[in-house]
Chain A
Amino acid sequence: MTEHDELSVLPPEARPYQGTTAGIATRFTANTIDGVIVGAALLGAYAGYLALRLVLDPRGFHTPDRSLAFVMVVYLDAVVVYLTIAWWFGGRTLGDRVMGLQVTSRGGGGLGFLRSFGRAVLCVIFPIGLVWCVVDSRRRSLQDIAVRSSVVYNWLPRASS
């Protein structure tokens, strides 16, 4: 499919923004969706784990008493794994897909594993760094500056490389 054909599937109002760096509202929305997705997935997995235990040992079943810190650590670890894998393979999380975003290197190519992992860790440890894209002239978050990445609007179904 040529570049012209790819543009033709975009709505006309979105074409001027295709490939330009995204602002905070879209990125925050995508991050929120990702956070909810990971949380829902963890909850589902936890419910499945409890159900399995109930089936295997109905008499001795009791809900595990985990600390909030443990839950948070598991959740953040899951987020790191999720973000790393998503950015490494195609530069898009599910939230990015919904909002039409793609994480790329400065040259527009994909992020490698290390940069994806580093960016994921930085996003989890210091999420407020996203706000820097509001004041940065090139709409870079602190994570973008650290790992030399960009977040661009890409409404096409297949990620550009």
Chain B
Amino acid sequence: MSQHGEAPKTIQTFPARSDPDAAVDLVAGIVGESVGAALAVLRGVTSRPALRSPAVWRPPFLPTRFQPASLVDEVVRRGARHRIRAVRQMGAVVDQWAPVLVEYIAARVDLTNLVLRHLDIDRVVGAADLDAAVSGVDIDAIAGRIDIDAILARVDLVAIVEDVMAEIDLPAIIRDSSGSMASETVRGARMTGITVDEAISRALDRRLFRGRRSSSVDADQ
């Protein structure tokens, strides 16, 4: 594993990287080292006790407005104003550009597929209070806006009715019902006949002290 040694490593990595990558790394290295050096200097300076003494920040021989602490306070105030103005301007820029950017990105990303892949729709629906949402909906008003005529116009009612009639054999039902119940008159005559039959049977049963007669077909056998 001699090629993983110190000297060959730096030599072999350079040809393996592309120029843009190497340039980025170079810039990052410079910036990183600069920031690191600046932080080290800052840490060294701020850790000095002299910087924390009131004699440095509020020297009695200077008027208050020229003392370092006052100057720093003034700069801080101005900095705060600049920050607020900058944030406001930044917000305006974001407001202006965000829709354009989002539109630009959305046009290039398959959002539907993305949502389906990463969103647990069951959990989302489970968290929603559907009952409350539905109770707030005026279903009558929705039903009133439905054009039922247009729906019916798209349905082949004739074909459906023909299918239903073919299934239920309507002529047979009409034939049976009209045959047996030809009219209320016939029905009344038949019931009257049965009633008179029963009355005669009961009267004779009482008169002749016979046992209850059986009138079923089975009794004839």
Contacts and interface: CB of A to CB of B under 8 A. Distances in A.
B213 A138 contact: yes
B189 A1 contact: no
A6 to B, nearest CB: 8
B186 interface: yes
Interface string A81-109: 00000000000000000111000101110
B194 interface: yes
Interface in A99-158: 99-100, 104, 106-108, 134-135, 137-140, 150, 152-153, 155-158
A150 B214 CA distance: 13
B221 interface: yes
A108 B218 CA distance: 9
Contacts, number: 95
Given A22-B193, A153-B194, 4 more contacts: A1-B176, A21-B215, A134-B200, A139-B215
A43 interface: no
A29 B165 CA distance: 39
A157 B175 contact: yes
A21 B194 contact: no
A39 interface: no
Interface in B87-127: none
Given A13-B191, A20-B217, A135 B180 contact: no
Interface residues of B, number: 31
A100 B216 CA distance: 16
26 contacts: A1-B172, A9-B176, A9-B177, A9-B180, A9-B181, A10-B180, A19-B217, A20-B215, A20-B216, A21-B217, A22-B197, A23-B193, A23-B194, A24-B197, A26-B197, A98-B186, A137-B210, A137-B211, A138-B214, A138-B215, A138-B219, A139-B201, A139-B213, A157-B179, A157-B180, A158-B179
A56 interface: no
Per DSSP, are chain B's interface residues mostly helix, strand or loop, or mixed? helix
Contacts of A9: 176-177, 180-181
Interface of A: 1, 9-11, 13-14, 17, 19-26, 29, 98-100, 104, 106-108, 134-135, 137-140, 150, 152-153, 155-158
Contact of B204 (A13, A134, A153, A156): A134
B193 A99 contact: yes
Contacts of A99: 189-190, 193
A9 B172 CA distance: 12
B162 interface: no
B132 interface: no
Given A19-B216, A26-B194, A156 B180 contact: yes
B203 to A, nearest CB: 10
Contact of A29 (B176, B180, B189, B198): B189
**Central interface residue in B189, B190, B208, B213, by most chain A CB within 10 Å:** B190
Contacts of A135: 204, 208
Contact of A140 (B190, B196, B220): B220
Contact of A150 (B193, B197, B217): B217
A25 B187 CA distance: 15
